Amino acid sequence: MTEFELITALTARLPTNDFVVRGAGDDCAVLELGSPGTQTLLKTDAVVEGIHFLPETEPARVGHKALARALSDIAAMGGTPTAALISLGLPRQFDPQRIQELYRGLNRLAARYQVAVVGGETTTNPERLWISVTVLGTVPRGQALLRSGAKMGDALFVTGELGGSLLGKHLDFEPRLDEGRWLAESGRVHAMMDVSDGLAGDLGHLLTASGGLGADLWAAALPISPAAKEQARQSDLSKPARVAALSDGEDFELVFAVPPGQAVPLLDGWKARFPQVRLSCIGKITAEPGIRLRTEDGIRPLNMKGYEHFS
């Protein structure tokens, strides 16, 4: 049984109640807690030493990343973060200054978005530092952007640039909170999620959640980051930059679907509001399941890892 199969089995039969608008399976849970105008978003996310950061990573960047990941999920719903809880697993020998630096990075990001850090707890994780962050956010009633609303013919957009995040962006990225909220308020977006595990794989989740649709992507339209190109240059063994843009994890950009007639007004509005942030129309939603990449050589199926299938 793979981890994915395990998660599928576990989430198939979770207890629920009348407060739940959306449970497991989206970027955040959506709850209805009786506030007249708003719904509540809830997300938890962990970073682990040796997996999401290294022992020598500057601790302020680790703290930034730990919170930014969860904020990116709030952004992906079009929400506003309100409060965060931090759960720390400390190695037996820990350097207090390292933890204080970590909090400095985390608190600085929290303060920038008016997120209150309302507590948490500390326990022991003997071999490695563990930081688990829970974020509570709000979204105007009915405005939360789910993964499940994409429609056949929708135009697909992605913010920023993709690939090569490991060269630095994964530690320093800014969660797309302003952009996510603007998109939700625009009323033009059918479905949205954040790109955390690679565009090809994450888009696959959005298509599955939207009822088993597919997508055609245009290779020439993919916003390949300079880091993805740099990474490809560094070694002959690296994957090509385009594959990196389709498959590298930790981009923390937003991918979303809008009705075709809304694509141009949305792009115009975006350029006026976020002139410094690239927004790319990368393809369209199709009735035929699966993801395909259109290049100068034709159109071919993509796998979840962003590689083209050659038949």
Using CB under 8 A as the binding rule, the residues of this chain from 145 to 204 that contact a copy of itself are none
Residues in region 20-79 near a copy of itself by CB under 8 A: 20, 22-26, 29, 31, 33-38, 40, 42-48, 50-52
The tokens describing 64, both together, are 């930034």
Quote the least distance from Cβ 118 to a copy of itself, whole Å: 4
Residue 114 CB, shortest distance to a copy of itself, in Å, is 5
Binders of a copy of itself among residues 86 to 115 (CB under 8 A) are 86-87, 89-90, 96, 99-100, 103, 107, 110-111, 114-115
Q: Total number of residues binding a copy of itself (CB under 8 A)?
A: 73
Contact 257, 237 (CB under 8 A): no
What's the CA gap between 184 and 187, in Å, rounded?
6
Q: How far is CA 273 from CA 160, 270, 309, in A?
A: 14, 5, 39
Q: How far is CA 206 from CA 64, 107, 157, 287, 292, in A?
A: 27, 32, 13, 14, 15
Contact pick of 8, 9, 226, 309 for a copy of itself (by CB under 8 A):
9
Name the minimum Å distance from CB 171 to a copy of itself.
17
Closest CA to 274 of 143, 183, 163: 183
Place of tokens 């033009």: 188
Q: CB 153: neighbour CB atoms within 10 A?
A: 14
Q: According to the binding rule CB under 8 A, does residue 13 interact with a copy of itself?
A: yes
Interface pick for a copy of itself out of 7, 152, 264, 299 (rule CB under 8 A): 7
In the complex, what is the shortest distance from the CB of residue 241 to a copy of itself, in angstroms, rounded to a whole number?
A: 28
Task: Give the residue, chosen from 57, 101, 117, 240, that forms a contact with a copy of itself under the rule CB under 8 A.
Answer: 117
Distance CA 201, CA 240 (A): 17
Q: Give the C-alpha separation, 188 to 216, whole Å.
A: 20
Which of 8, 55, 116, 273 is close enough to bind a copy of itself by CB under 8 A? 116
- Which residues inside 123-142 make contact with a copy of itself, applying CB under 8 A? 123-128, 130, 132, 134, 136, 138
One-letter amino acid at 166 equals: L
